[in-house]
Structure 1
């Protein structure tokens, strides 16, 4: 995939996509900006508000994504001091960097892997009897991390600070690219994004062309979803970072 002029569909939310687009353009390719997910702030329930006010009851606070950090931290206001007294765990490099940018000092991050499974391999979360954990995330995320922490003896609560929605976008240009088989690859960052893409392309011929278009995904879980839908050419990036996605584009490695 190293020829110039290749069109790469970048489907990340608008506020997160620009760096990846720059990397694509540095290769002499064309980045097609087409967000399939819109990130919006969630309304905080009264119960979640209480959890914010009682941060000192939690020994561990998990931030599932950079979006979780960026939507949560404004809610803490004067409670930053309480957050400094607990241990924050970032699922990935982006959330780690975001926490550090806000001045949070005690931040742990997995040495390898950037998902719930990598978090659960950390020494700090093996025996959690008598401990309380707060998971800060978007609405509707997986329950795997919380269930696993509870199995290890923890009391676990959620703070859901954002939600994913389908953006209002004009799909005519995307339809044209798919119809013409003009896309060299599509970057997919979540199962929700993949489902939204299918909703936008309902005609049989379009779907046939779409399923033959190479896609780059961020995990085996999204790979399995794509495979079940019928995608023929799936590449798994080592992680969700821009560098890993670019590496997968360049090398086409870890094909599903």
Structure 2
């Protein structure tokens, strides 16, 4: 069975290698790519306020990379944030922070909902300051939830997310193969990836009905379920709570065993 690895190219390579080592047939078809946001007066003003927050939420390894670069650009040393608690969306982001000597809280479920359940957030006062290092369009639900509690949110939009230019070319080159597959498996970890996939296959809507989708988190699962019911679609999906290799391999094995 074919597995579509839709992770960004700079993050998907290790997953492809691990799956291929487990004898899984993988097609790399990134549905997102990231580009750094231009430095601006608005970003400079946010960095000037950063030492006053109690928590910084990093939503991806890229957010860590671009955020730390912004600290240097703003002339704000990392030790000035020694009092801050850090939250990482998952293990990969936590490892990216650790490379800078920063320890972080990581949720069991690698989603906005999982992060909102962390004790580090529950223990904050209603007037606490929380900074988000994120990409354009990411983690809006989490920010809105904390803002509704009265917390002060610093919204660092550090990068933009877009569909890679090569994605239509990869799909076109493998279209006949996908159409022959009675079932293929794919990974979706964000709403942006899901919307990009729908756009890519808009001229070939039946492709979706052959898919078994591994989807990260309850909110994204809900979006797929709503789409499936609204469009009477025949694709199947299963919810993942993390992007660990063993979790992905377990679900691929279950799909392969299904007659």
TM-score by length of 2: 0.85
Alignment partner, residue 149 of structure 1: 146
Residue 242 to residue 162, structure 1, CA distance change in 2 (3 Å): farther
Alignment partner, residue 3 of structure 1: none
Aligned-partner Cα distance in 2 for 1:196–1:231: 19
1:87 alignment partner, one of 69, 85, 88? 85
TM-superposed deviation, 1:125 = 1.8
TM-superposed deviation, 1:191 = 1.8
Secondary structure of the structure 2 residue equivalent to 1:214:
strand
Question: What do the CA deviations read for 1:145-194 (whole angstroms, capped 9, x no partner)?
Answer: 22222233321110011111111111312322222226631222222112
TM-superposed deviation, 1:231 = 4.6
Aligned-partner Cα distance in 2 for 1:87–1:52: 16
Question: What do the CA deviations read for 1:30-56 (whole angstroms, capped 9, x no partner)?
Answer: 211111111111124312211213321
Secondary structure of the structure 2 residue equivalent to 1:53:
helix
1:114 alignment partner, one of 110, 117, 127? 110
Is 2:4 the partner of 1:9? yes
Alignment partner, residue 64 of structure 2: 69
Contact 1:68 1:161 in 2 (8 A): yes
How large is the Cα RMSD of the aligned pairs?
2.2
- What 5-or-longer segments of structure 1 have no aligned partner? 1-5
Residue 199 to residue 148, structure 1, CA distance change in 2 (3 Å): closer
Aligned-partner Cα distance in 2 for 1:59–1:220: 27
Residue 222 to residue 130, structure 1, CA distance change in 2 (3 Å): closer
Query: Which has more helix, going by share of residues?
Result: 2
Q: Which runs of 4+ in 1 moved over 6 A?
A: none
Secondary structure of the structure 2 residue equivalent to 1:168:
coil
Alignment partner, residue 247 of structure 1: 250
Is 2:216 the partner of 1:221? no
TM-score by length of 1: 0.86
Question: What do the CA deviations read for 1:216-238 (whole angstroms, capped 9, x no partner)?
Answer: 11122222333314252112223
